Chain A
Amino acid sequence: NAGVTQTPKFQVLKTGQSMTLQCAQDMNHEYMSWYRQDPGMGLRLIHYSVGAGITDQGEVPNGYNVSRSTTEDFPLRLLSAAPSQTSVYFCASSPRWDSYQPQHFGDGTRLSIL
């Protein structure tokens, strides 16, 4: 099993550019989520999904879009990158939508916005 796979691992963008961070899991997990991790701020929830076709906002959703067309994939889109979105992004999954616990994490995407 590959677990949770995130691509790319590193990315540098210019302000105003758009891009998509990819996340895929091969464990047939219902629940998937995106977090950002910043120094001194800890991990903050951006968006989450409890199943295909269902998404909801977390603590810091502004500037990000998500969709969940399949159980396996949960991409995160930056619409117009801003320097404040420089961060490390983690995707996570767990077997049940009602566990409220992201149990399996990807290795992260380190994103810099210039």
Chain B
Amino acid sequence: KQEVTQIPAALSVPEGENLVLNCSFTDSAIYNLQWFRQDPGKGLTSLLLIQSSQREQTSGRLNASLDKSSGRSTLYIAASQPGDSATYLCARKLTFGKGTKLSVIP
């Protein structure tokens, strides 16, 4: 059974700091990996989808990497802003991690 783990469960940083969120998975097979954002009381918004043949994807201040050999993905957020405060989830083959709750302090 695929397992997806996200560490840390919560993270608090001052505004402007660069940060990295981690996601690890147990299945080394060829599947895509996706990062989502969830605001309180809301649904999930897709941020980045990394195809299994890719190593990274970028969108604005976000960069996600995928290393299938080590079973890891990272989401890098540059120059964090209070509006980035949310829970970030990664997903691989229908399985979600429990998320990292990010708080960016003004």
Contacts and interface: CB of A to CB of B under 8 A. Distances in A.
Given A101-B91, A105-B44, A105-B45, A42 B97 contact: yes
A45 interface: yes
Given A99-B32, A101-B32, A101-B34, A107 B43 contact: yes
A33 interface: yes
A43 B43 contact: no
Contacts of B97: 42
Contacts of B31: 100-101
Nearest to A48: B94
Which of A40, A42, A44, A90 gathers most chain B CB within 10 Å? Answer: A42
Contact of B43 (A48, A90, A99, A100): A90
Q: How large is the interface on A (under 10, 10 to 19, 20 to 34, 35 or more residues)?
A: 20 to 34
A101 B52 CA distance: 12
Contacts of A105: 36, 43-46
B97 to A, nearest CB: 7
Contact of A42 (B42, B46, B98): B98
A48 B45 CA distance: 19
How many interface residues does chain B have, given as a range?
10 to 19
A45 B96 CA distance: 9
A102 B43 contact: no
A68 interface: no
B89 interface: yes
Contact of A107 (B42, B91, B98): B42
A50 to B, nearest CB: 11
Given A99-B32, A103-B34, A103-B46, A45 B98 contact: no
Interface of B: 31-32, 34, 36, 42-46, 49, 89, 91, 93-99
22 contacts: A33-B94, A35-B96, A41-B98, A42-B96, A42-B99, A45-B94, A45-B95, A92-B44, A100-B32, A100-B94, A101-B31, A101-B91, A101-B93, A102-B91, A102-B94, A103-B34, A104-B46, A105-B43, A106-B43, A107-B42, A107-B43, A108-B43
